[in-house]
Structure 1
């Protein structure tokens, strides 16, 4: 096997031998799960490269253990967001929340330490996603004298709205980052934002991979002038996409029924979806299994990739790398991006000419882009071909190699 390996001497009677690396990963979402972070982790930590990983999480309820998976799971206790449920004044309330967060970090660090104490773990990987896992993973790794790597799926500071969480995350970052031998980010925009705050950080890019084959021979539309073009969106629908979806609904209405969109989401019953996006041109469905979602993507007329223009966390929107991006690129279908200028997905798609980009919150421009896609077969063929080329950057093989090289480098550190 092509193992990422390290010279290991794990016992007094053992000779120094080559052994696969053992990683412990602390995450809000462990694989197998439909969650984007879980899907990435499940793909990059492969049997061909690593010993069975140890996943530590406080959300075992979303782990689909009946599905095929690699590694073992350890449940962490749920965090306490405050010291007491008693009502306090403003100043005392801040202390109550701050103390609760600090207590949760220390408790979690102790749990991680106990779980890993007797294991032959080579590297601890702490993932972003909540205020606890990065600092707790760092503290546990330091106690155990194990290398620590921070995996930043989103900005660990600005993923929180202004207030106590962001303030604590900013302070926490200055602590755990000093012990992180490597930082992993899914794209260059997030890496640049982190480097401005942490100029000495050693940041490595590992793309969110797409575990799908390139659809290099997409089926042509049977009708050159269809009665209605079907857009598709698969994934979460919440504040991170809300304003972009509202613009699309307005554009679809202005186009008089030429276009409609199918939305497959776990938030199909939310107020945003059922009320604000209600339209005769919008069909909402429950979240589809991953394999079904990929098949739907490859059968759609146009794939819609939105990010919000008005958000309390614009920094996260700017650096967001949706897990579905690689799948969209590999689908063989034209992509329409509706997201703010300067964001990772707008610049990536525009620079590669891999889709049409509307980077202003203007329904009229969105409608114009939809008509261009429908009316120009040469345009569709060109952006699909370029998207397939770009999709190779998001291959599972490349992500596994990049992740494996990063982890191996800290063991040799």
Structure 2
């Protein structure tokens, strides 16, 4: 009975086996090919993303390069910078073309035609080059004038200095004589301003025919006009409201005539229009006891002289960008009250306590030290106001017993 119900052995068809084996092989090959195609598609998408990122980066760099060049052309179109700017822009274009081969020549022409036009315009700039002071030679040639006294052209504790760009004339705030002294750029006494109208003048700034003077004695800002040498406007008084001041220090003007005032007692920069109408204030929690201010392009540089004196860099809207630690023990600058910018945007700072002038790079690195303590020609004692004339002479005033004003070139 057992043998009657036994299962018959299964017969394997060799043709079916071969077909199944072939199908399985084809499916395996298709899966491999499918994986290869998916990988290729993935790589192509990644390449497309990388190309798009590279294109965006290239466009951004071109825009920045164009803005950089146009800024130089607009704000500092000096002939002596022509070759350097041209080379920098051409190197930038060459680098971008090499690193971004996915762009067509037509696209490059569209993106760079305006920039290359700006570069070509450099060859059309025909202004007289502005002298850049050679700080290493400042000790060798000095004009000393402004001896101590109350007579015309004499100084007692001079403070701020300003230069009339059209004439190179030097205006000095004669603190204890309560007036402004005017000298030529070779040291000759020319005239006085504000006699009997100023109370302890400290800072001074010039824009066109307007002269602005800050006074400690009554915490005011005074506006004179050079057309008739008269006082046309006085604002201020002790207080914290807009238009009031607490011991205003140095002041400056921007290219359109706005007046920036270092209001030390109120920890702010007070900004006014040409007629001294208040516009707004610049304040920042880290900006305390500002003593001097300068404006260059879209930047405001504020020197603060407190326990940790330093230079703050802000936007015109008052946003702080960074601080340049140009002072303190590491730089041996202890009590600075005045600074100026040279044509290459170096900082030139006078320091009362070390009886010297220091030159720093735009990044805040110490480059040069000028001056030794003393009362003879070429020496400094408690240096105060400092400025650079358009023809490249460094002007400094100090409490030197023999000479209050020194013109170094």
TM-score calculated relative to the size of structure 1: 0.23
Structure number, greater radius of gyration: 2
Relative contact order (alpha carbons < 8 A, sep ≥ 6): 1 or 2 greater?
Answer: 1
Higher helix share: 1
Q: Which has the higher strand share?
A: 2
